[in-house]
Every structure is written in C-alpha cells, then in structure tokens.
A and B are shown apart, each in its own frame.
Chain A
Amino acid sequence: MTGNFEDPRKTFGKAVSDYALAHEDVILLSADSGKSSGFGDFMKEAPERYLEFGIMEQCVTGVASGLACSGKRPVFCAIAPFVTARNFEMFRNDVGYMGQNVKIVGRNGGITYSDLGATHHSLDDFSIIGMIPGVCVLCPQDPNEIRQAVITMMEHDGPVYMRIGNEPVENLFEEEPFVIGKGRRIAEGKDVTIISTGTLTGSVIKALPLLKEKGVSADVIGMPTICPLDEELILDSVEKTARVVTVEEHYIKGGLGTAVSDLLSERSPALVKKLGIPHDYATSGPYKEILKKYGLDEKSIADSVLNFLGIDI
C-alpha cells in the first residue's frame, strides 16, 4: 500500500494513448465513449487513428473485427456492460470465433457506476466473456498493473477483454511486466488461501492485519487474469491450506470463484467460500456503501474468512 491513488480511466487512457502514438497500426474506437476512456489527448494528436461512431456498440465491435482483418490493432473502450452484454454476439462471433486481434475494454466495471444502478453495473462480464473460447479476460488490481497490462494486452496476438473501474485506485505493487495468466503471491500463509481480483485485492490486503490478530495466517493470491487461470499457483497454495476464499466484484456465480471451484473440484477438492455480489440486480448508492452491503469491505472480508474457518469474530 502506497497511499498513492489514481483514476484508473486516466491511467488506462494514457497508457493506451502512449502505446498507440508509438505504434501506427493501433486504432482507437469510440462509441461516444472516448473522452471518458482517457483518449482526449490522443484524439487531438492522431485524429486519423481515432474513430468516433456514436452510440452503436454492436457496430463498433464488428468494425473492430474488420479492421483487425487487415492487420490493424483496434482498441474499443466504453462502459463495461455495453461492450460485453449489449454486443455479446458480435464479441463472440466477430472477435472470438474469427480470432481477431481486437482489444475491448470495459470501464466503470463491476459496481463502480454505483448510483447509476443495475443497467450500468457489469457483474457478469467475467462469466459471459470468459465463455468465449480464446479470449483473455484481465482485471488489473492497481494503477501500475493497469499500465503494464495495457502494454501486454497490446503485444498479445489475439482477442483480449480488460475490465477497469472508475473509483480512484491505490497503487499496491511495484510496476513490473504483466504476464497474462499469472497470478501474484502477495502473502505466504498456511491456514487459508485468499484469491482476489481487481481492486478488491487492496481490500484483502487491508483485511490481513485483522486476520493476523486472530492468529490466522493467510496465503494471499492476487489474480489479475481470470482467463486463462493460473492453475498451478492455486493448486500449489491449496495443497498447504485446503481451504479457499475468493473475493471479486462480480456475481458469485460464474466469476473467479466459480473458475477456482471448477479447477479444485477436479484436481484438488477443497472447500471454497465465494465472496462477491449475490446473483441479483445489485442495489444502487455510493460505491463504498454498496461494497459494504454485500460484505466486500475489508472488515466484512476478514469476518467472512474467520467465519469460514470457524473462528469467533
């Protein structure tokens, strides 16, 4: 924890713009969404490679596929549900099935569009996009990871979906190269494995002292790639702990927790407690209050882990 916060959209927008300015084949696509995605400067600096389409996410997804057919590297960023659910068939067929080198980024992901309500939340994106064969699903955990994930996403030859939020995010880790499909071990422990993704990893880290107070030593894994999953790291940890808690800003159904459960049920059966949003239309309100309502603040996370381990709170 560094106490240094950044607006993830600005961090993302700058990283993409810097990369695009240095690489002529990158094209940024907007569905009335470019400025809020942090592309404001790029659209002035390289207007010929910034294409505005207005509010037509299905069309932009198809256009991205067509551009990629000719060797372009399109990046399309807009509000998460509208680049995952609204255009799902275009994502699956035109990007996934066609195997195109297209990068789609859902911003204001999870419940970060908190008070705008369930139409603007994306609590199923890991699940539905993760169902598309061949698409990598990324959810970086802090601004440094976003910067590096952008570079890796651009260099990766194939379709990628990345989710970012819009609440200020604290820098947690040193900036180092991002590897798709690799998790990071944040703390070593033996009592329980905690696996989290996205910015909730920061809350897990803050929950650790509360667990330590109760004598719990947690093996903590930060998992910025949902697909493909870092299976070896999970299996290695669970061998020690035999108990797992997953933490994500996604439905408890179909997300990281489900992927971990699927893996363990075949390879190394263990009890898995999934923390996330219940399978319902999430309520609206201030972001932090919604997190708390669903038990995703640091104190609630610690309490859930203790409960799971049968330790009095």
Chain B
Amino acid sequence: MTEKEIASLNAAATRCRLNILRMIRASGHGHVGGALSAMDMVAALYFYKLNVDPSDPAKEDRDRFVLSAGHKCLCQYAALAEKGFFEKSVLDTYGSLGSPIPGHPDMHKLPGVEANTGALGHGLAISLGMALAQKIDGKNARTYTLLGDGELAEGSNWEAAAAAAHHKVDNLTAIVDYNGLQISGPVKEVMDLTPISDHFRAFGWAVRDIDGNNMNEITDALDALPFEKGKPSCIVAHTVKAKGLSFGEGNVSYHFWNAKEDQLMQAEEELNALLEDYEKEAGS
C-alpha cells in the first residue's frame, strides 16, 4: 500500500464518519461509540477488500460481511451509503418511522445487509454457515463478521468458534472490535475475557492483534488472510471507542449518544478538517 492509497482509505473512513454524524443529526441519538471505533475496519472492508457490487448486491460470488454487533449499524449504513448501495438522502431517515435504516440492520429493508442482527451473539454462527456454503460450492469467496469485545461474553460465540475451527473454515474471518468498553463500563471489569487472542487461539483459530484504527495495520491484516491455511482467522483490533469524536473518545458514556447541536457542529468541523488533510494527502 502506498501512502496515497492509505490516505485515500482514511478519507473514505472519514467521509463515513461524517455520514454517521448525518444520521445522528437526523434522529438526535444513536449507538455512536462502537460504530466509530469499528469505522476504520468497516471502511477498509468495503473500500479495499470486499468483493461486493452496489449495482448487484445479490451477486452470487460476493464476499459476505455480517455485522454481528448490530448496534454498530451506523458504521455499516455509513459505508454502504458511501459505496453507493443506496442514496445518501436515506441517511436522513435514521430514527424515523419505517426507515430502511433502523436501529439494528434489516436485510429485507436495505441492499447490502446480509443478516438481521441486533441480539448479540448471533453473527458468528450465521457467518460460519455462509462461509461453509462458500466452501461447499467451491467458491473463492470469504465471509467476514465484526463482533464487539463485550459481545464475546455470549456463550453462543464460543460454540461457533469451536465449530469453525473444527470444520477448518479458513475463509471465515472474525474481527473483534476491542475498544475495551461496553455499556456498563470497561469490559475487563464487567466480564473479563482477556486475553482475547489466547481464547481464540485455544479454540483453534489463527489470530493477529492489530491497531484497529490504523489503516496500514488493517489492510496488512486483511491482505494476510487466512493467517493460517485450514484455520479460521481472528483479527483482534485494538480500537478507541467513539474514535473521531474528540470530546468522546474512550468515554463509556458515548456508547449511546444524545447529541447536542454544539457538539455536533464541533465534530463536523473537526472531521471536515481531517477529511481535507486526507484528501490532500491522497492527491484528489
């Protein structure tokens, strides 16, 4: 990856963060913390890695992305809109009656969404099924799922973790958004599942720890998949919750944000300035 390519991905991620603010502006609130910590990885998936086509969302050989932590949906909506899966004006319906972008994703309402998540602890098993189907059909396609670190306390994840390793599903990648926070506080205090990487390793996965808000490290990891042939891969992505909201970064109370106008304006200003820098760097 050249520096320009990285800057261009960072610009895409920043545009996505601005899309998130646009949705928050529409409804006044949302699960912003976990969406922002995961935003760089989701942007890298959509703008760098996933074989998906906004003009043919159901194309057969596509890669699949399942947002297991469905409350982070703002980051997926932001990326899908930026990628052209739907008109950006739809972002302004966030929070309104019957919106195609509800508070947790609904595959029947929005192209590009592969599963109905929201109840934590479902996405890994669904993704395993998708990856198995790709394997059975001899397709050269991959399935990715993004989990929260707090979500890992759901036992169903570990059923799927065991099954994925047992069936040697090496086209499956789980990305853990390790922002260290959940609703009630630090994950380590609420229900400590550290060391996360060792847990996955013990279940038979190939694991890599990265800085999940660093585009170089993210794309390196995505390019190295599968980390080991015959094993599912896990990216433990160390991130900062609410990344990009200067006044909310790493602050547990920004899990769900009831936005104030002055805060919104400040955040938009900061992100627009950042975007300008990235665009300059990318030479566009």
Interface on A for B, CB 8 Å cutoff?
27, 48-49, 51, 53-54, 56, 58-72, 74, 89-90, 93-94, 97-99
Q: Are A59 and B125 in contact (CB under 8 A)?
A: yes
Q: Tell me the nearest residue of chain B to A65, going by C-beta.
A: B126
**5 extra interface residue pairs, beta carbon distance < 8 Å, beyond A65-B115, A65-B126, A90-B122:** A51-B132, A56-B159, A62-B125, A69-B133, A94-B116
Q: Tell me the nearest residue of chain B to A67, going by C-beta.
A: B129
Residues of B within 8 A of A68 (CB): 129
CB distance from B112 to the nearest CB of A (A): 13
Complexed CA–CA distance, A252 and B126 (Å): 35
Q: Are A71 and B159 in contact (CB under 8 A)?
A: no
Complexed CA–CA distance, A64 and B160 (Å): 12
Q: Are A99 and B126 in contact (CB under 8 A)?
A: no
Which of A60, A72, A98 is within 8 Å of B116, CB to CB?
Answer: A98
How would residues 91 to 135 of chain B score, 1 for a CB under 8 Å from any chain A CB and 0 otherwise? 000000000000000011000001111110010111111111110
Q: Are B115 and A72 in contact (CB under 8 A)?
A: no
Closest 6 CB pairs of A and B: A66-B129, A62-B125, A70-B133, A59-B159, A56-B159, A63-B129
Q: Are B133 and A62 in contact (CB under 8 A)?
A: no
Which of B108, B125, B133, B134 is within 8 Å of A61, CB to CB?
Answer: B125
Which of A51, A94, A99 is within 8 Å of B122, CB to CB?
Answer: A94
Complexed CA–CA distance, A194 and B165 (Å): 52
Q: Are A67 and B132 in contact (CB under 8 A)?
A: yes
Q: Tell me the nearest residue of chain A to B124, going by C-beta.
A: A62
Complexed CA–CA distance, A93 and B167 (Å): 24
Complexed CA–CA distance, A218 and B263 (Å): 73
Interface on B for A, CB 8 Å cutoff?
64, 107-108, 114-119, 122, 124-134, 136-137, 143, 156, 159-160, 162-163, 166-167
Residues of A within 8 A of B124 (CB): 62
Q: Tell me the nearest residue of chain A to B130, going by C-beta.
A: A66
Residues of A within 8 A of B125 (CB): 58-63, 65-66, 90, 94
CB distance from B200 to the nearest CB of A (A): 16
Residues of B within 8 A of A54 (CB): 162-163, 166
Q: Are B119 and A71 in contact (CB under 8 A)?
A: no
Residues of B within 8 A of A27 (CB): 136
Residues of B within 8 A of A66 (CB): 115, 125-133, 143
Q: Are A62 and B136 in contact (CB under 8 A)?
A: no
A–B Cβ pairs within 8 angstroms, 15 of them: A54-B166, A59-B160, A62-B160, A63-B125, A63-B132, A65-B125, A66-B129, A66-B130, A68-B129, A69-B114, A70-B130, A74-B129, A93-B116, A93-B117, A94-B122
Main secondary structure, interface of A, reads: helix
Q: Are A97 and B116 in contact (CB under 8 A)?
A: yes
Q: Tell me the nearest residue of chain B to A61, going by C-beta.
A: B125
Residues of A within 8 A of B136 (CB): 27, 48-49, 72
Q: Tell me the nearest residue of chain B to A71, going by C-beta.
A: B133
Residues of A within 8 A of B126 (CB): 62-63, 65-66, 69, 94
CB distance from B115 to the nearest CB of A (A): 6
Complexed CA–CA distance, A62 and B115 (Å): 10
Residues of A within 8 A of B166 (CB): 53-54
Residues of A within 8 A of B162 (CB): 54, 56
CB distance from A108 to the nearest CB of B (A): 22
Of the candidates A65, A66, A69, the one having the most CB atoms from chain B within 10 angstroms of its own CB is: A66
Residues of A within 8 A of B128 (CB): 59, 62-63, 66
Complexed CA–CA distance, A93 and B159 (Å): 18
Complexed CA–CA distance, A71 and B58 (Å): 12
Q: Are A72 and B133 in contact (CB under 8 A)?
A: yes
CB distance from B36 to the nearest CB of A (A): 25
Residues of A within 8 A of B160 (CB): 56, 59, 62-63
CB distance from B119 to the nearest CB of A (A): 6
Q: Are B119 and A93 in contact (CB under 8 A)?
A: yes
Q: Are A67 and B133 in contact (CB under 8 A)?
A: yes
Complexed CA–CA distance, A35 and B125 (Å): 23
Which of A48, A58, A64 is within 8 Å of B129, CB to CB?
Answer: A64
CB distance from A61 to the nearest CB of B (A): 7
Q: Are B129 and A65 in contact (CB under 8 A)?
A: yes
Q: Are A69 and B159 in contact (CB under 8 A)?
A: no
Residues of B within 8 A of A64 (CB): 129
Residues of A within 8 A of B64 (CB): 69
A58-B159, A62-B122 known; A67+B116 contact, CB < 8 A: no
Q: Are B130 and A59 in contact (CB under 8 A)?
A: no
Q: Are B134 and A70 in contact (CB under 8 A)?
A: yes
Residues of B within 8 A of A69 (CB): 64, 114-115, 126, 129-130, 133
Q: Tell me the nearest residue of chain A to B115, going by C-beta.
A: A98
Q: Are A98 and B107 in contact (CB under 8 A)?
A: yes
Complexed CA–CA distance, A151 and B134 (Å): 26
Complexed CA–CA distance, A70 and B28 (Å): 37
Q: Are A93 and B122 in contact (CB under 8 A)?
A: yes
Residues of B within 8 A of A61 (CB): 125
Of the candidates A61, A63, A72, the one having the most CB atoms from chain B within 10 angstroms of its own CB is: A63
Complexed CA–CA distance, A63 and B64 (Å): 14
Complexed CA–CA distance, A307 and B122 (Å): 50
Complexed CA–CA distance, A27 and B156 (Å): 22
